[in-house]
Structure 1
Amino acid sequence: MIARIWSGESLLWLLLLPLSWLYGLVSGAIRLLYHLGLKRAWRAPVPVVVVGNLTAGGNGKTPVVIWLVEELQKRGLRPGVVSRGYGGKAAKYPLLLTAETTTAEAGDEPVLIYQRTGAPVAVSPVRSDAVKALLSEHPVDIVITDDGLQHYALARDKEIVVIDGVRRFGNGWWLPAGPMRERASRLKSVDAVIVNGGQAMSGEIPMHLHPGMAINLLTGERKAVDQLPALVAMAGIGHPPRFFATLAQCGARIEKQVPLADHQALMAGQVEALTASGQTLIMTEKDAVKCRAFAKENWWYLPVDAELSGEQPEQLLKELIALVQ
């Protein structure tokens, strides 16, 4: 229902407009206070790069963070990552991730980034505290923030916005009548716009999520998705249909699709009940980090990598490296 409202297919968004006006007024006032210097942002002693979005829901932001971290590592830099840690609740903040940190503590996306990249990751509702924790324990020379475009309390040197190229901005209204955290005009002030799928417009960087081999959660065995029998597909991400479409493009034989809420906590019994005898469970990597502790032999996940096209990605990386030098 919310997807139909935000896309404009349902006129129920008209009933939510007063709340949207209030949301826009409050968010605009906060940004103005920082712009006028009436509220002061904390500036880190190293460059800070924000990877965020203008809309609620999954846009492919975390794969972009992973891509950035890995590309910077290849070029000899030491990036660290900070996050709000949505979906997790730690005993205390800031929380520096270790190999033992659970998604219940840190949230699924920070754990995924930590496991994929090996970069130091810290989470805290106050992102400046997370940055300070990183710098106190690791020789980080550039910080990437996973989300936080609207978190103006942390000063930033570069802003990167990720857009879903298919859904883009829906009906264009602020939450809750539409998907917008800020209006599309905000793009005029950011440093780069990356478009995940669909058709990129002039000046935007095209990106596609490239699926790899399916990986067994228990054994680490790798197989092509189309070699897995009787699939039950589970996706607890911002836009589950994207994952199901990716599986179909890979030739997967899907018997059932199970869309879940983004960042939804997963319990062993709940996940086990999704498959019957002879069926295979396939999930996103983001879900897999929540299921490793109780994984079964018929559970697999499909990792995806961000692939950016054109000359702009290399130019963007040069600009980030120049911040450090």
Structure 2
Amino acid sequence: MTIPTVELNNGVSMPTLGFGVFQTPPDETMFAVAEALKIGYRHIDTAAAYGNESGVGDAIKQSGIARSDLFIETKIWISDYGYDETLHAFDKSAGKLGLNQIDLLILHQALPTAFERTIAAYRALERLLDEQKVRAIGISNFMPEHLERLLSEVNVVPAVNQIEVHPYFQQKDVQAENAKNGILTQAWAPIGGITFYRPGFSKSTLEDPVILEIAAAHGKSAAQVMLRWGVQEGRSVIPKSVKPSRIAENFDVFDFELSPEQVKAIDALDTNERGGPEPEAVTLEKYGREIPEA
């Protein structure tokens, strides 16, 4: 099966479905990515802060898949923000991945308390894009106010904004702002990721009765329904797993379609309860960490 692609705002094509390695231990990453590539994934999403870029690189090297058939995405951590620092951060990530060119390089957080460093980091991404060391650049966890300030000070509109999106937390205001600016919304935790619970409801997204009813109607799992929902609404989705059966299951979401009523029912599950950290609370003092050399 060939995964459908989406065209980014600079004309680069990216597989809609990616494979994520957030919280995957470094020693398990190579095996998980190798399994994903064997199944058919071609878009791999990692980050400097995950500490497992080398495992991704090892899996790529051993896969035998042509580089032109792969789409590799990684993220610059806040500790490496700043113009020169971010240029060096690219070298560190590229070295660990074993790549000369990264397909999509994004800033991992907005860092509101030191936004001038964020701007400088993004300008470094613009230089890397101009030098063709990356094919597309973007951002992650940027709220509308962060995006507005960024756009007022840089030249290249981000290709993506990777944010937390799943049925219980949909960030419709952020998605709308992305769309207004021609930025693709990319969903991390698209199936609820770190187990999220609704207020007064003791089950996770994977056990939600609305989602399970839709899944039964299609002969699919709850996870497959949530991934299909994301793709059908025009998002890029980045599920993760280390279990071969789940990796394969998450890949199998392109042979059915949700009805408008089913999409509306899932849309109605939004609780506006964030699972990840508040973007405004991300500071160097609290979240800073040294990113090792390649």
Which band: TM-score by shorter chain?
0.3 to 0.5
Choose between structure 1 and 2: higher helix proportion: 2
Choose between structure 1 and 2: higher strand proportion: 1
Query: Whose radius of gyration is greater, 1 or 2?
Result: 1
TM-score (norm 1): 0.32
